[in-house]
Amino acid sequence: MLQPTAFLRIDGHNLAGLKDFASEWDFDACMVSSTANVTEEMKQQIADTGIEHIYYFDSETPIPIRNLYSTPKTLGPDRLAAAIGAYFEGFNLWGKHTPILIIDSGSAITYDFVNEAGEYLGGNISPGVEMRFRALHEFTAKLPHVQAYAEGDFTVIGNSTETAIRHGVMDGVKHEIQGFICQFLSKYPNLCVFLTGGDSFDFEEQVKNRIFADKFLVSKGLNIILQHIHQKSLKFSV
Query: 118: burial class by Cβ within 10 Å (0-12, 13-18, 19+)?
Result: middle
Residues near 49 by Cβ (< 8 Å), separated by ≥ 6? 18, 19, 22, 23, 27, 30
Residues with Cβ within 8 Å of residue 29, at least 6 apart in sequence: 51, 52, 53, 54, 55, 226, 230
* Burial (Cβ within 10 Å: 0-12, 13-18, ≥19) of residue 158: middle
Cβ–Cβ < 8 Å for 99, 115: yes
Q: Which amino acid is at 214?
A: D
d(Cα 49, Cα 17) in Å, to the nearest integer?
10
Catalytic residue among 26, 28, 48, 78: 78
26 is catalytic: no
Residues labelled catalytic:
78
